């Protein structure tokens, strides 16, 4: 134990003696750990933002949308989930409630005007059940009503950013906005959701589904998204299978043909996104980990130089009875301490950068450094110190004491 303590004391003394060189040696480790921690914390924050979005959707809800593999889309094939599909599900599937269509007007958004101001917004046509299915309710005013949908009323429920960007009054209820050359009365303001990946979710505008259909015209059969709730969680698989059966029959899909739609729960949607984020974390972490290897090579080079500079000192230690293992341990500890100090500095800088970006970019709010990232950073730093420090340490331990004492 005494030798171990002395080795650490000697290591810190050697690092202090060449502070600038030690810092430059640690730079690769610092940059590598800093990048890993910053990337992981930001992706974790983004993942938390995504989780918050899906948390409003009940575990018993289902989302149905059209889907085709990329190769089929490139071949010119098309797929749609239609209003008739919704009616068939509503009629033929038991144990469901709150079924609601969502019709997106404008692939890349549509223009919303108020007086001399205008913004681009994704406008959704939907029904009253949308609020329950997505956990999105107005902070002021009201939501879309069955009467609005039935009689195609020109009313709108808007996000807070719509009010801000259009410079509307603080209480916009009763004001009129223009969309598709039509006037819509603002009847509600939705609870804010914030931004995600730079996309402002509060520029959304909801109008009655019947109104949205009338704006498209009777000749167009739109592709919609269907949301619904399963009354009994234990029947989730059975209800999903029944919906799939109904849609396959309606879409004239033969046995063996792939579905041209997807039925997903919030957990599945979140799981898909989470797996993508995890893959991104691993890829980015692998890329920035190269900096740690570069830092390890720097440590090895400097430690080799240190062994050469301290050859006479090593000879004195050996002449006084120091064993090969003692010399090996001393130089190995120096390399590990060098790597770990770099790891600590990198951890603090990475955490600071993560918090700064999270503060400036709302999509990454809630970012944090998970415990496994800290363990990984320190473990990798220590491992780099051991792996790249073993060669210089072995060289020092193998020196002949007589030759070392003669070294000038």
pLDDT tens track for 249-273 = 999 988 888 888 998 876 666 666 6
Weakest-pLDDT range from 61-65, 118-122, 218-222, 391-395:
391-395
Neighbouring CB atoms inside 10 A of 325's CB total 10
pLDDT band at 100 (very low <50, low <70, confident <90, very high): very high
Beta pairing class for 199-200 and 195-196: antiparallel
Distances from the Cα of 69 to the Cαs of 35, 72, 253, 265, 346, in angstroms? 35, 5, 15, 20, 43
286: alpha, beta or left, given left = phi > 0 and alpha = psi -120 to 50? alpha
If phi > 0 it is left, if psi is from -120 to 50 it is alpha, else beta; for residue 58 that is beta
Residue 87 scores a pLDDT above 80? yes
Q: Return mean pLDDT, the chain.
A: 79
Mean pLDDT to the nearest integer, 320-346: 75
| Chain-centroid distance, C-alpha 329 | 42
Radius of gyration of the chain (CA): 32
- Most confident of the ranges 67-71, 237-241, 328-332, 355-359: 237-241
Looking at residue 140, the DSSP 8-state letter turns out to be E
Q: What would the mean pLDDT of 50-73 be, rounded to a whole number?
A: 72
pTM of the full structure: 0.63
Mean pLDDT within 301-323? 68
DSSP-derived secondary structure for 352-387: HHHHHHHHH-GGGTT----HHHHHHHHHHHHHHHHH
* pLDDT, tens digit, 9 for 90 and up, residues 123-133: 999 999 998 88
Give the whole-number percent of the chain exceeding pLDDT 90.
26
For residue 98, pLDDT over 70 is answered with: yes
pLDDT of residue 158: 94
What region, left, alpha or beta, does residue 274 occupy, with left being phi > 0 and alpha being psi -120 to 50 degrees? alpha
């Amino acid at each position: 134990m005494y030798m171990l303590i002395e080795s650490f004391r000697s290591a810190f003394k050697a690092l202090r003696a060449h502070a600038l060189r030690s810092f430059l040696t640690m730079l690769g480790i610092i940059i590598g750990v800093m990048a890993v921690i910053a990337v992981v914390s930001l992706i974790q924050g983004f993942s938390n933002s995504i989780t918050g979005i899906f948390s409003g959707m009940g575990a018993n809800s289902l989302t149905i949308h059209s889907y085709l593999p990329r190769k089929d889309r490139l071949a010119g094939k098309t797929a749609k989930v239609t209003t008739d599909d919704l009616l068939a599900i509503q009629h033929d599937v038991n144990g469901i409630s709150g079924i609601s269509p969502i019709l997106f007007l404008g692939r890349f958004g549509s223009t919303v005007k108020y007086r001399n101001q205008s913004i681009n917004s994704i406008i959704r046509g939907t029904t009253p059940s949308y609020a329950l299915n997505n956990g999105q309710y107005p902070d002021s005013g009201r939501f879309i009503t069955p009467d609005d949908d039935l009689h195609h009323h020109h009313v709108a429920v808007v996000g807070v950013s719509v009010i801000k960007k259009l410079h509307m009054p603080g209480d916009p209820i009763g004001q009129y906005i223009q969309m598709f050359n039509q006037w819509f009365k603002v009847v509600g303001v939705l609870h804010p959701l914030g931004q995600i990946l730079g996309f402002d979710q509060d520029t959304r505008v909801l109008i009655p589904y019947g109104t949205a259909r009338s704006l498209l015209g009777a000749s167009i059969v739109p592709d919609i998204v269907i949301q619904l709730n399963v009354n009994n969680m234990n029947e989730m698989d059975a209800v999903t299978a029944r919906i799939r059966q109904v849609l396959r029959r309606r879409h004239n899909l033969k046995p063996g043909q792939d579905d041209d739609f997807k039925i997903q729960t919030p957990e599945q949607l979140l799981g898909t996104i989470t797996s993508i984020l995890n893959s991104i974390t691993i890829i980015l972490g692998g890329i920035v980990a190269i900096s740690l290897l570069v830092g390890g090579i720097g440590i090895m080079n400097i430690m080799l130089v240190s062994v050469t500079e301290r050859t006479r000192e090593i000879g004195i230690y050996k002449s006084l009875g120091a064993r090969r293992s003692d010399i090996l341990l001393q130089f190995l500890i120096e390399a590990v301490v060098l790597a770990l100090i770099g790891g600590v500095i990198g951890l603090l800088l990475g955490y600071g950068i993560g918090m700064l970006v999270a503060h400036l970019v709302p999509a990454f709010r809630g970012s944090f450094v998970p415990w496994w990232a800290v363990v990984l950073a320190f473990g990798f730093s220590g491992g780099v110190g051991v792996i790249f420090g073993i060669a210089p340490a072995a060289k020092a331990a193998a020196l002949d004491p007589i030759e070392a004492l003669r070294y000038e």
